[in-house]
Chains A and B, each alone.
Chain A
């Protein structure tokens, strides 16, 4: 358990943050992160041999996150708004500005199709190469690059419309 706990603390911020950005749903982010690490526990013996266990974790988290979004889409639910801001760690500076900015980013990100959203977050937040992100999302490299570019382009346009990056 000690080794697994060390493993958990090493990677949980990445996985929780990824699923938070991917789902836009705080409860789902916690729940799916929990599921990801339970699966990691189930495969821990093998996982310890991997050169890049983080890639494995991102892959499992992506599958869970995208399945969750598909299920939500089929049930007609909308992306959750950023409501429970008390549990969000506020950044320095003007909290109101940060929260408004954060809400806008959340909304824009939530407007992207799931795989575009996942591609953008994996590459631009967590620094995966496009080949690594393709593996995490089970896409061909070409499809991933197209999703990534489309996602970046759409995010940029919406972000500018919201007044960001001026």
Chain B
């Protein structure tokens, strides 16, 4: 085989390999989506959104309490995680020295890599044990620990994308540094920052492990942050491993709702992301 022919063969082989990998990646999502829609749509009904769970063995019922519980957990996680993540990101981007920032960034990445079950244990020993009971607050706290590193890194990254010339222009007009950040740098990146927060939110919305022994679960209606509550991911876990057929059906429905929620947040986050500022 001539050299040229061999090169062409290698070229085609590499193209096929990259193409195949791409296909596996993309088709995974569509396979999951299709599977969930197939099972979920057959299972979902109006009662799922409006009724409380029925005791084991009884047919019907829904997950209204889990939907509300998930919403409250995400809200608490965002209320803690978004400001902490935002300000830490501003610090990293605008104030941090080179060496210290490197350390903080590295620690943030490590935090991002901590297995979520470990985050659950951490929240358990820090919140559940001292309070003596499971609670939505404990679950929200656990989720915020996952929320924060994502928010920090996206905030930092998007602020770094703001042209230096904006900062210079503001400083040259006599703006103190904090004012230049608050009135020029952050507004210039606002859409992107909101996107980062939404992505973090979408990520924690589907977390299960940190909730297992923090917000626990609840067969009944509860909105008090000081009490345990049901959440969609934990309900999926509980229902899926149960021996009841009707619970399996509802687990599929919950999976579909959760996935739809996460996809919705992700897609709206992308739509929110503004096209980059000119230049």
Q: Is A bound to B?
A: no
